[in-house]
């Protein structure tokens, strides 16, 4: 490739060619056909988040395809970028620069991904650049070479048939798990016939051969029969591993690829290119897989869309569910939201008729679900000393003891930090303030206990009951609970699964399994019983989502338990009868209906859409003044926010700037304004947010305002 020739010419002309109106830069001839390349720059600046025209030197003509990675000279520096299209004429009268070089001719920014990224950026008032950062994996030069036309020709010659064309047979991997639902089979036939149905599935399958990965695999298989591809997004790598093994059994290991950052750049980029070239038609992965360049997409699936891991951690904080929603519309693909529970957002889609609800009939539910009983969360008065020691209520204690004769027993405990109340390490008496008798809690930063009512610090605490000097969190982590249960059930194996030591699967033999929500190991034959502790702590969280979130965690754990017909039993400890009732009746759809109704009445998301703006007081005022809010927007604030718990060094962006109580911080700190608006107005408002942000960025004046649209952990 004689590429040096032209780029050197450019350099020279830049050094010597001062006259602006003289001949175009460089003496390299532009390509004869479509000499213009529109380039999206790899720059985080909002006002540069648009296309710029460059000349394509004839030398680059073949490589400079739409979607290729390039380097271009921009404002005195060499910036990476992508060609979005080739054009005959420039969009500008500015003097065009030639492309610096074509880094790789692989068309990694496909037209579909670009369109999707634009839609996502528009919806979240963010930049296309920020979305593409997630959508397109970094290049691995070695992998690029595997996908040159020559290399591919060689491979094809070697007789390596295209796996993509292999039509999956009805593998002997068991019965159709969707046959349990009234509309399940019809959903599959529509997929197989090339249609694009949309459904919200309330899945019954928590474990065993008819589990949710099997249900999803079946939908994927039907889509393949229609000759189309599919993409499946799951919250984490544990779920990915489960899905992967079932897909391997049902459609074959060669029929799909994993797409997850966990795998490292090289395999990730290879999988990406395999999809892009149509060698493989199915992609499964974590949230960034929502953008997988599956050719001729027929189905997009998201498992457990309410899991907070589906929300991107960086701007514009897009949610995989909404990415797939947009994608299914843009590419006319089917959409499946599947979960043991039902998110309020999913309910909205069902309620509006956009998607069909797929749920089992009551009789089927009764045949599959365990028996659920509830008990109060207070156990301090338990007379049974062993039960008190295990800090579990008697009913739960009994269930565990009984269940252990038949198999593993799951104990779900809240994550540490859920309930900040402290108690005495020795006698379990709640720790009280000596000043006002308020409960003691841990101040978020220095670790010194302080009263949650009067704020008085209590560095030298000692117990008023027994004189002990050590404090414990009243909601113990999985590790400590496991330890205590081990003592309470002497000769029983205790397995702990939480945080950094997650167990994916455990055998069918009796054991106590202590796990935090989301970390529950799967048992091939199901748990004999489950005990759901800390319900009140989870429900009392200061969050709009506390109720639906807790219920989701209960359903997830309870789905791993054997049916009532096999003596499967779930004991839930919480006092909120409404939330508990939905679990007792195993009715996630009604729970979601009720929740959505509540949000409608309150005018809160997802019944409406909203944006959170944060910044300094002055910055916010100026931003909102420029924004020019239309009628119908409810603006709340600006209100002071507590300072971020994380010191500003870590991430100056809109990290978690909430605080459990608003007493710290305020003056001179950050402020927040919330905007609530109807769906119909959303496009106009996000567009205004975007352009105001871009203008502010171009002026580079005043304090920046950070925008977060439909954030998941804001309210």
Smallest distance, DNA to C-beta of residue 74, A: 5
Count the residues of the shown chain that bind DNA, applying the rule CB under 7 A: 24
Told to check if 622 binds DNA by CB under 7 A, we report no
Told to check if 618 binds DNA by CB under 7 A, we report no
Could you tell me which stretch among 42-50, 375-383, 537-545, 619-627 binds DNA (CB under 7 A)? 42-50
Interface with DNA (CB under 7 A), residue from 19, 21, 32, 77: 77
Interface with DNA (CB under 7 A), residue from 10, 97, 350, 570: 97
Told to check if 652 binds DNA by CB under 7 A, we report no
Interface with DNA (CB under 7 A), residue from 3, 47, 261, 643: 47
| Calculated CA dihedral for residues 151, 155, 157, 160, nearest 10 degrees | -160
Smallest distance, DNA to C-beta of residue 531, A: 53
- In angstroms, the Cα distances linking 502 to 96, 478, 513, 552 are 55, 11, 11, 19
Smallest distance, DNA to C-beta of residue 77, A: 5
Residue 546: CB atoms within 10 A of its CB come to: 15
Told to check if 88 binds DNA by CB under 7 A, we report no
Site for DNA in 290-309 (CB under 7 A): none
Smallest distance, DNA to C-beta of residue 372, A: 56
Told to check if 95 binds DNA by CB under 7 A, we report yes
DSSP state, 295?
S
Smallest distance, DNA to C-beta of residue 625, A: 17
65/79 with CB nearer DNA: 79
Over the window 256 to 285, marking each residue x when it contacts DNA by CB under 7 A and - when it does not, the resulting string is ------------------------------
2/76 with CB nearer DNA: 76
Interface with DNA (CB under 7 A), residue from 156, 193, 646, 698: 698
Told to check if 661 binds DNA by CB under 7 A, we report no
CA distance 632 to 635: 9
Complete DSSP assignment for 579-630 = HHHHHHTT-HHHHHHHHHHHHHHHT-TTSSEEEEEEE-HHHHHHHHHHH-PP
Smallest distance, DNA to C-beta of residue 50, A: 8
Could you tell me which stretch among 57-65, 84-92, 109-117, 463-471 binds DNA (CB under 7 A)? 84-92
Told to check if 623 binds DNA by CB under 7 A, we report no
Told to check if 663 binds DNA by CB under 7 A, we report no
Helix (H), strand (E) at residue 14: helix 3-16
Token digits for 559? 């789905």
- Helices 237-251 and 212-225 pack at an angle, to 10 degrees, of 50
- In angstroms, the Cα distances linking 555 to 113, 307, 339, 418, 656 are 35, 13, 9, 19, 28
CA distance 343 to 549: 9
3-state secondary structure 627-669: HCCCCCCEEEEEEECCCCCCCCCCCCCCCCCCCCCCCCCCCCC
Told to check if 94 binds DNA by CB under 7 A, we report yes
User: Are the C-beta atoms of 38 and 132 separated by less than 8 Å?
Assistant: no
Could you tell me which stretch among 70-78, 281-289, 431-439, 597-605 binds DNA (CB under 7 A)? 70-78
Token digits for 172? 């002997």
Told to check if 74 binds DNA by CB under 7 A, we report yes
Told to check if 170 binds DNA by CB under 7 A, we report no
Told to check if 76 binds DNA by CB under 7 A, we report yes
95 Cα distance to chain centroid: 43
94/667 with CB nearer DNA: 94
39/561 with CB nearer DNA: 39
Is the CA virtual torsion 129, 134, 138, 144 positive or negative? negative
CA distance 69 to 668: 44
Could you tell me which stretch among 71-79, 455-463, 618-626, 671-679 binds DNA (CB under 7 A)? 71-79
Helix (H), strand (E) at residue 698: helix 682-699
Smallest distance, DNA to C-beta of residue 657, A: 22
Could you tell me which stretch among 90-98, 329-337, 483-491, 495-503 binds DNA (CB under 7 A)? 90-98
Smallest distance, DNA to C-beta of residue 693, A: 14
Place of tokens 């610096």: 100
Smallest distance, DNA to C-beta of residue 96, A: 4
Smallest distance, DNA to C-beta of residue 327, A: 29
Interface with DNA (CB under 7 A), residue from 10, 42, 49, 54: 54
Interface with DNA (CB under 7 A), residue from 3, 9, 53, 365: 53
Told to check if 214 binds DNA by CB under 7 A, we report no
Interface with DNA (CB under 7 A), residue from 6, 10, 13, 52: 52
Dihedrals φ, ψ of 317, to 5°? Answer: 60, 40
CA distance 630 to 523: 54
Told to check if 677 binds DNA by CB under 7 A, we report no
- In angstroms, the Cα distances linking 503 to 43, 487, 498, 523, 631 are 41, 21, 8, 11, 52
Smallest distance, DNA to C-beta of residue 700, A: 6
> Which value, in Å, is the radius of gyration of the alpha carbons in the chain?
29
Place of tokens 């207070």: 378
Using CB under 7 A, list all residues that contact DNA.
45, 47-48, 51-55, 73-77, 90-92, 94-97, 698-701
């Amino acid at each position: 490739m004689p590429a040096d020739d032209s780029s050197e010419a450019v350099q020279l002309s830049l050094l010597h060619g001062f006259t602006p109106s003289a001949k175009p830069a460089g003496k390299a001839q532009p390509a004869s056909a479509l000499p213009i390349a529109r380039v999206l720059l790899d720059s985080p600046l909002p006002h540069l988040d648009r296309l710029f025209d460059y000349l394509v030197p004839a030398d680059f003509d073949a490589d400079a395809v739409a979607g290729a990675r390039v380097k271009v000279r921009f404002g005195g520096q060499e910036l990476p970028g992508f060609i979005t299209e080739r054009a005959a004429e420039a969009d500008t009268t500015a003097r065009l620069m030639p492309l610096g070089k074509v880094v790789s001719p692989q068309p990694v920014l496909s037209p579909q991904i670009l369109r999707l990224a634009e839609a996502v950026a528009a919806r979240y008032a963010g930049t296309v650049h920020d979305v593409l950062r997630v959508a397109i994996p970094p290049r691995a030069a070695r992998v690029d070479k595997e996908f040159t036309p020559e290399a591919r020709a060689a491979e094809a010659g070697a007789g390596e048939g295209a796996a993509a064309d292999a039509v999956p047979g009805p593998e002997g991997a068991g019965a159709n798990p969707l046959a349990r639902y009234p509309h399940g089979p019809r959903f599959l036939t529509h997929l197989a016939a090339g249609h694009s149905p949309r459904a919200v599935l309330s899945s019954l399958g928590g474990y065993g051969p008819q589990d949710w990965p099997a249900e999803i695999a079946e939908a994927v298989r039907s889509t393949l029969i229609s000759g189309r591809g599919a993409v499946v997004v799951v919250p984490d790598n544990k779920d990915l591993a489960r899905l992967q093994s079932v897909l391997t059994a049902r459609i074959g290991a060669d029929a799909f690829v994993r797409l997850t950052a966990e795998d490292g750049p090289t395999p990730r980029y290879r999988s990406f290119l395999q999809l892009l070239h149509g060698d493989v038609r199915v992609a499964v992965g974590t949230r960034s897989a929502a953008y997988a360049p599956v050719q001729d997409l027929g189905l997009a699936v998201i498992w457990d869309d309410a899991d907070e891991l589906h929300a991107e951690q960086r701007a514009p904080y897009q949610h995989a569910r909404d990415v797939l929603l947009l994608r299914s519309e843009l590419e006319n693909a089917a959409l499946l939201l599947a979960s043991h529970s039902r998110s309020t957002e999913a309910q909205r889609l069902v309620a509006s008729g956009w998607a069909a609800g797929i749920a089992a009939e009551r009789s089927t539910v009764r045949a599959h679900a365990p028996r659920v009983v509830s008990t109060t969360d207070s156990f301090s008065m338990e007379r049974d000393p062993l039960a008190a020691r295990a800090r579990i209520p008697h009913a739960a204690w009994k269930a565990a003891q009984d269940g252990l004769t038949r198999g593993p027993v799951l104990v779900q405990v809240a994550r540490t930090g859920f309930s900040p109340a402290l108690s005495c390490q020795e006698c379990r008496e709640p720790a009280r303030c000596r000043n006002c008798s308020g409960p003691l809690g841990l101040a978020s930063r220095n670790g010194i206990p302080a009263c949650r009512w009067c704020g008085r610090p209590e560095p030298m605490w000692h117990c008023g009951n027994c004189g002990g000097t050590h404090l414990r969190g009243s909601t113990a982590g999985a590790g400590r609970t496991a330890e205590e249960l081990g003592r309470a059930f002497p000769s029983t194996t205790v397995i702990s699964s939480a945080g950094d030591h997650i167990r994916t699967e455990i055998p069918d033999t009796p054991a106590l399994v202590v796990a935090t929500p989301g970390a529950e190991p799967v048992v091939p034959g199901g748990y004999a019983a489950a005990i759901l502790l800390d319900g009140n702590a989870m429900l009392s969280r200061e969050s709009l989502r506390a109720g639906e979130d807790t219920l989701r965690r209960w359903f997830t754990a309870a789905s791993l338990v054997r049916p009532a017909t096999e003596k499967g039993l779930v004991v839930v400890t919480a006092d909120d009868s409404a939330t508990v009732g939905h679990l007792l009746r195993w009715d996630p759809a009604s729970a979601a209906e009720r929740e959505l109704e509540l949000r409608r009445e309150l005018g809160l998301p997802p019944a409406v859409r909203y944006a959170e703006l944060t910044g300094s007081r002055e910055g916010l005022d100026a931003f909102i003044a420029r924004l020019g809010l239309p009628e119908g927007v409810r603006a709340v604030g600006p209100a002071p926010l507590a300072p971020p718990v994380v010191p500003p060094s870590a991430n100056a962006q809109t990290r978690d700037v909430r605080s459990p109580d608003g007493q710290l911080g305020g003056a001179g700190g950050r402020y927040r304004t919330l905007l609530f608006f109807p769906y119909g107005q959303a496009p106009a408002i996000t567009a205004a947010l975007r352009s105001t942000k871009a203008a502010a960025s171009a002026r580079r004046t005043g304090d920046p305002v950070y925008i977060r649209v439909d954030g998941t952990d804001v309210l």
